[in-house]
Amino acid sequence: MMQKRLKLAKNLLNLRGSVLIVTIDEKEYLRLGMLLEQVFPRAKVQMVSINVNPAAASRAGSFGRSDEYIFFVMQGCSPTRLLLGRDWVSVKGRTHTGAPRWDLLRRSGSGASRDDSPGCFYPIYAETGTPSIIMVGEPLPVGTSKAPQVKGAIPILPIRKDGSEGRWMMTPGELRIRISQGRVRLSVSNKGKKVVLYYLADGEFNKIEAGEFSIVRRATDGSMVFAEPDEEDAGSVLAIPSTQWRIPSHDSTQYGTRLLADFIPGRKFPFPKSLYAVEDTLRFFVKDKPDALILDFFGGSGTTTHAVARLNKQDGGRRRSILVTNNEVSVDEAESLRGKGLEPGDPEWEALGIFEYVTRPRLKSAFTGTTPEGEPVRSEYRFTDKFPVADGFPENIEFFLLDFLDPDEVARGDAFKAIVPILWMVAGCRGEREDSKGSTPWFIPKHSPFAVLVQEKQFRAFREKLAERKGIEWVFLITDSEENFGQMRRTLGRRYQCVQLYKSYLENFRINTQDALNG
């Protein structure tokens, strides 16, 4: 089942700039990782460990579970660097300080000995007194460890604390270029007895050239000095985090289970994700995409759609979320219901299904700010954007039942009304959704940016009607003739996004076929 669903997802991930995000626990992550590499051989796949339960769920005879895993399958896109709080990045050490990172000029790790690169063992002369570089010498001959003396200067060699010979990160010529760019810095410690050299790597220098940091002056050693971060950003760093997330707001107990209880009191859902964890995850990929489309194959309690609404509120975005879920009941509930003589399809059974009992009421409560009982939700959102939950969101939301259409009705053209919601979604889910009223030559809703030509022979009158309406962006033309469609599209010009619909509408939306699964 997992493999079949991933192959369906592959058809949707063909567009560049798309990303598939999958969460999994430790029992299945190995198998999922293997499947992702098989199904998406050309995509970049990366896994992140996220701490979702700081208290850890105890298990008899096993380590307590505190995390789950997120797989990112990236097709022509990468996560965006964001201004992150200190929870995301290290506070101590040299990794993230809110300013460009200066690395040691003396190489460490592998390939760090003089023998590994003799051309990188040379003296650097620092002026006596004021810490500045006078000159860069040439590589010393093999077997020589004493630098020529220069008047008024101290020679600095890449010698380790234990007295062994190391090497600089670059050749003398490369270092001279970086000194002229202000990318080399001297640090004097131990009362002037020890001089340490640092440099800015290419990645950090690229950030400076991109304008992420402001240069205010040059220090006495010629190195660049940067402006201090704004006070409100002093505890933040512009970065992409590591593959281990330990963020308090990602606690699924506090901001998943208990938060869900605020929206639908008395109703339970097993292991809902933290709203803020999903929000943060999406932000890395849609922060700069205000019109992004987010598709959630396994809707569950509706956390993804809820998170998209929060993202839109934060920056005025128009991101759309399509959520797909079933209306199954749990195994225990099914057994109890059957004991009462009920079966799937009975109203009492369906009322306890995940969609009717959890997903729909949770999203309606989140968007309106009121519980299913009509009471204001008495809590506040935290993190990033704080406001009363009762304020709701200025979003529209529609719920649809995926059902089977009778092919005979479709062939007769009697099922057009059933596909209108799909056209509304294709056109951006904007405006109040309207239904087609009976058999008409065309359908032009009042509040949505699309129009449909139902009867091909009425194209001329349809075009005149289009001219009377402003804001139409999508035009669906129902015809089985490729030639006629091309002619109508050329006549309408480039003002509209034209889409051909076959008179047998099912052909346009037939994706659950063997060809699709093998694609």
Q: Rounded distance, CA 136 to CA 176, Å? A: 7
Q: Rounded distance, CA 496 to CA 480, Å? A: 20
pLDDT of residue 135: 92
Quote the distance between the C-alpha of residue 256 and its chain's center.
19
Read off the pLDDT of residues 127-145 as tens digits, 9 standing for 90 and up: 877 678 999 999 999 989 9
pLDDT of residue 231: 46
Name residue 74's beta-bridge partners. Answer: 19, 44
pLDDT of residue 159: 92
Read off the pLDDT of residues 278-291 as tens digits, 9 standing for 90 and up: 999 999 999 999 99
pLDDT of residue 280: 96
Could you tell me the pTM of the whole model? 0.70
pLDDT of residue 192: 55
Q: Rounded distance, CA 170 to CA 184, Å? A: 12
Q: Rounded distance, CA 230 to CA 273, Å? A: 33
pLDDT of residue 73: 93
pLDDT of residue 402: 77
pLDDT of residue 190: 56
Which amino acid is residue 439, in one-letter code?
Answer: S
* The two three-digit tokens of residue 310, written as one number: 């929060």
User: In the chain, which stretches have pLDDT less than 50?
Assistant: 91-95, 231-234, 511-519
- The helix/strand/coil state of 136 is strand
pLDDT of residue 372: 94
Read off the pLDDT of residues 217-255 as tens digits, 9 standing for 90 and up: 998 888 999 877 554 444 567 788 889 999 999 999 999
Query: Which positions ≥6 away from 235 have C-beta within 8 Å?
Result: 85, 86, 98
pLDDT of residue 123: 96
- The helix/strand/coil state of 348 is helix
Q: Rounded distance, CA 12 to CA 515, Å? A: 14
Walk me through the domains of the chain, giving residue ranges and CATH numbers: 1-79 (3.10.28), 102-228 (no CATH), 248-399 (no CATH), 407-518 (no CATH)
Phi-psi region of 266 (alpha: psi -120 to 50; beta: other; left: phi over 0): left
pLDDT of residue 473: 93
Phi and psi at residue 22, to the nearest 5°: -130, 130
pLDDT of residue 193: 66
